[in-house]
Amino acid sequence: MLSDTYQHTFIDVVLPLPLPGTYSYRVPAEYVSQLLLGKRVIVQFGKQKIYSAVIWRIHHNSPIAGKVKEILSVLDEYPVVNEKQMQLWEWIASYYMCSLGDVMSAAMPAALKLQSETRILLHPLHDAYTQPLTDDEYLITEALLSHHALTIRDISLITDRTNVFPLLRTMMDKKLLLAEEEIKEKFKPRLVEYVLLEPQYVDDENALGLALNTLEKKASRQAECLLVFMKTWFDSDRATEGILKSQLSGVTGFSDAAYKALLKKNILVSVKKVEGRMEAYEGTVSAPALLNDIQQQALTLIQTQFEEKQVVLLHGVTSSGKTEVYIHLIQEQLNVGRQVLYLLPEIALTTQIITRLRRIFGNRVGVYHSRYTDYERAEVWQSVLSGKEPGSDKEGSGYDIIIGARSALFLPYSNLGLVLVDEEHENTFKQVEKTPRYHARDAAIVMAGIHEAKVLLGSATPSLESYRNADSGKFGKVIMSERYGGMELPEIVIANLKEAARKKQLSEHFAPLMIDEIQKALGNKKQVILFQNRRGFSPRMECETCNWVPQCINCDVTLTYHKFAGNLRCHYCGYSMKMPSHCSACNDTKLTLRGFGTEKIEEDLSTYFPEARVSRLDLDSVRSRNAHAEIISDFEQHNIDILVGTQMVTKGLDFDHVSMVGILNADNMLSFPDFRAHERSYQLMAQVSGRAGRKGARGKVIIQTYNPAHYILQNLVDGDHQNIYDKELDERMRFKYPPFSRLIELTLKHKDYKTVNMAAATLGLSLTAELGNRVIGPETPYIGKIRNHHLSVILIKIDEKSSPSAVKEIVQKQITTMNQLKDFKGVQVVRDVDPV
């Protein structure tokens, strides 16, 4: 009787692997009571491998085919993935045409995805000597004291257990062990410099007076410098932590040389402090700044629009004070006990925002992005999950504001009230380099829907997509058209390169106007930002006789010359070769460099402005984890006069002393072969211009071009952004490009040129049979070979009337069919939905 009604329990789990769908396992009776959706279980997959997988469904339907394995154990006491996350994962998998396993791989820190190959290390701060250890724990710690690392498989052997995951989890909780990914990159904090008065002078005015007198006679500059410090310090009510060096730099009378002399004479002291990221904030917290009328109006308007719309676009010019408005919205959510996610397009931007938010919200602010070590990320994950600060047992002490880049979307929020997407137009919100190729802004809107939360998109240069959504009434829209404090937007002036070249007035790549304005800014002790969207020294080298150009051996691209490294390098695969001494086609030795990148600009600046302190911000200069923050902080503290960089310098940073911005070559942006080239160049130029003149006097922007009549440039000069949007939207409508259609880009890859083209032709035909003229291609893309893989691209345009999900189903089916053909099994198809 009993055996008839007894039902086995099964679960479907998601494995962190790029496999379609979920996998079923049977649950032994002893574990059934522990089952909950979102907990991890340990399962065997394949012949040998062991994984932690997430429970997705619990049911009693015996899978029909094959023998079902049993789970080995249940790993968690509480779910690590909540049901709202599960809904988001489902949406991402279906919308972006990938598997749940792909989403899991992207969404969870490695520490939560243990598998048999994971290497285990001793925690650097372990206290194995003071804690009581079980026999197994002792065995493992002993083994790790003599071996640097062990795989989970090794540990199984040592302890003679098939399933060591629960044991490892306990040891990780006790901070005895770490998974290797967790500490690949060591956390190195950013330093800020504070200036203090030498203690002996602090309470002895006579001594100070005497010192000052001496200085005035012998070193008047130092005296002046000291007075600047004293005034600022008194203004701060004699702040015990001293005065930020960055606050003094740039003040008239304060010079670096005099400051250094005062340090030497032991009158001033400099203290470098860690501006922590994970470190607890110990400064005082203060109330949000009072909003001015424009900000207050914007805030009220956002609030009323939120009553009807889920998403509002805040279109506010650079430095209009959007961030302060965000702060008020955040406060509102915290007051009603809901969480806030603050998404930024770039890790680099987080540092400044963290500092600003922590001054108001203190330790309620958490940070999450891919530059954090996996260990740090797992900590933030657990903190959001448990509502407790890392390392604390106090309920409600956890982060309720998370600042982060893309991946912060994946944290286990339970009660989100608001998502802020700052600089919403940035294409870095789209993951391009690997599946699931999601757009964080769009996924955030879906996630907010799941939480019944609101979304505020902020930008000075909204994407055409959001702009149109706001115009059509799908999103609310609020405009802030003035800078905070009535600062004028910078004056934009075109420097005509054609004319300068004709008159032979060019100094390398600088027009006379550019040189003059840089000189002027430096003369006024101001800072300069120069933007060039190419890194390296020269984008190509060419034979003067036969026009031979060195190419990458793996990719279909020319090599870029990097002078400092002394080599030619491929920006797609990293291949590099030594500078050739002669042409490999005709043997001539006359090789010239053409075009210019950031490295060349940096070098030229030292010729034309030998006294200026120049630094460079691009992918090459920020290879190490903290280089970026250091350069930014140096610039903030006015230890750099001119900052040259790629796109990295355009992003929403707030510097006080930048009076002039130079754009060295507008033309290569405007002529880039992509339907978004105009939108992109406009956004880049408007954004980088926005760095000028945020405080003090009106800023100036010089744009160099051979094509001064270009309508984007003309409209920028006139400040007519409306016209740019109108014109671009017109074009897009005419050619049925987004936002008037949706795109799916399929990229086929294979080592063999013929195979990829045949596969693409086959897929193209079958898609066209079903989807008609929505299918464009196959075509060899602009760069036809990358890392020895030949590429072919098929574009699918889905008009506004068609159902994207129906089209995706057809596309998926045809890809599968193509991949089943014997010759095309090895052809990889990358699906990119809404490519940017």
Q: What is the CA radius of gyration of the chain?
A: 30
Say which entry of Zn ion, ligand ADP, none residue 545 contacts (CB below 5 to 8 A, set by partner kind).
Zn ion
Q: One symbol per residue from 644 to 683: x for binding ligand ADP (CB under 6 A), - otherwise; what is it?
A: ----------x-----------------------------
One of 320, 350, 382, 792 touching ligand ADP (CB under 6 A): 320
The two three-digit tokens of residue 294, written as one number: 């424009």
Say which entry of ligand ADP, Zn ion, none residue 484 contacts (CB below 5 to 8 A, set by partner kind).
ligand ADP
CB of 832 to Zn ion, least distance (A): 20
One of 34, 270, 292, 414 touching ligand ADP (CB under 6 A): 292
Give the number of residues written for the chain: 836
Q: Residue 768, interface with Zn ion (CB under 5 A)?
A: no
CB of 296 to Zn ion, least distance (A): 53
One of 323, 351, 646, 687 touching ligand ADP (CB under 6 A): 323
Q: Residue 815, interface with Zn ion (CB under 5 A)?
A: no
Cα–Cα distance for residue pair 554/545, rounded to 1 Å? 25
Q: Residue 246, interface with ligand ADP (CB under 6 A)?
A: no
- Contact call for residues 685 and 663 (beta carbons, < 8 A): yes
Q: Residue 687, interface with ligand ADP (CB under 6 A)?
A: no
Q: Which amino acid is at 92?
A: I
Neighbours of 573 (CB within 10 A): 17
One of 291, 294, 724, 818 touching ligand ADP (CB under 6 A): 291
Single out the segment in contact with Zn ion by CB under 5 A; choices: 148-156, 291-299, 408-416, 567-575. 567-575
Which helix (H) or strand (E) segment holds residue 252: the answer is none
One of 31, 575, 706, 737 touching Zn ion (CB under 5 A): 575
Q: Residue 539, interface with ligand ADP (CB under 6 A)?
A: no
CA dihedral 435, 440, 441, 446 (to 10 degrees): 80
The distance from CA 810 to its chain's CA centroid, rounded to whole angstroms, is 33
User: For Zn ion, which is the closer residue by CB, 587 or 817?
Assistant: 587
Which helix (H) or strand (E) segment holds residue 418: the answer is strand 416-422
Q: Residue 791, interface with Zn ion (CB under 5 A)?
A: no
User: For ligand ADP, which is the closer residue by CB, 324 or 424?
Assistant: 324
Cα–Cα distance for residue pair 732/467, rounded to 1 Å? 13
Please report, for residues 399, 770, 825, the alpha-carbon distance to residue 828 in angstroms, rounded to integers and kept in the order given. Answer: 41, 22, 8
Q: One symbol per residue from 516 to 555: x for binding Zn ion (CB under 5 A), - otherwise; what is it?
A: ---------------------------x-xx-x---x-xx
Q: One symbol per residue from 310 to 329: x for binding Zn ion (CB under 5 A), - otherwise; what is it?
A: --------------------
One of 22, 232, 247, 318 touching ligand ADP (CB under 6 A): 318
The answer for residues whose C-beta is within 8 angstroms of residue 58's C-beta and 6 or more apart is: 9, 10, 11, 35, 37
Burial of residue 760, with CB atoms counted within 10 A of its CB: 0-12 exposed, 13-18 middle, 19 or more buried: buried
Which helix (H) or strand (E) segment holds residue 672: the answer is none
| Number of residues near Zn ion (by CB under 5 A) | 15
One of 281, 413, 484, 510 touching ligand ADP (CB under 6 A): 484
CB of 736 to ligand ADP, least distance (A): 34
User: For ligand ADP, which is the closer residue by CB, 688 or 807?
Assistant: 688
Please report, for residues 2, 37, 354, the alpha-carbon distance to residue 6 in angstroms, rounded to integers and kept in the order given. Answer: 6, 22, 56
CB of 710 to ligand ADP, least distance (A): 26
- Contact call for residues 457 and 313 (beta carbons, < 8 A): yes
- Contact call for residues 419 and 411 (beta carbons, < 8 A): no
| Number of residues near ligand ADP (by CB under 6 A) | 15
Q: Which amino acid is at 762?
A: T
Q: Which amino acid is at 749?
A: K
One of 109, 316, 366, 390 touching ligand ADP (CB under 6 A): 316
Q: Output phi, psi for 26, to 5 deg.
A: -90, 145
The two three-digit tokens of residue 123, written as one number: 């925690």
Coil/strand/helix, residue 316: strand
N-to-C CA span, the chain: 62
One of 99, 115, 141, 319 touching ligand ADP (CB under 6 A): 319
User: For ligand ADP, which is the closer residue by CB, 167 or 298?
Assistant: 298
Which helix (H) or strand (E) segment holds residue 632: the answer is helix 627-636
Single out the segment in contact with ligand ADP by CB under 6 A; choices: 200-208, 317-325, 441-449, 612-620. 317-325
Chain contacts with ligand ADP (rule: CB under 6 A): 289-292, 295, 316, 318-324, 484, 654
Chain contacts with Zn ion (rule: CB under 5 A): 543, 545-546, 548, 552, 554-555, 570, 572-573, 575, 583, 585-586, 588
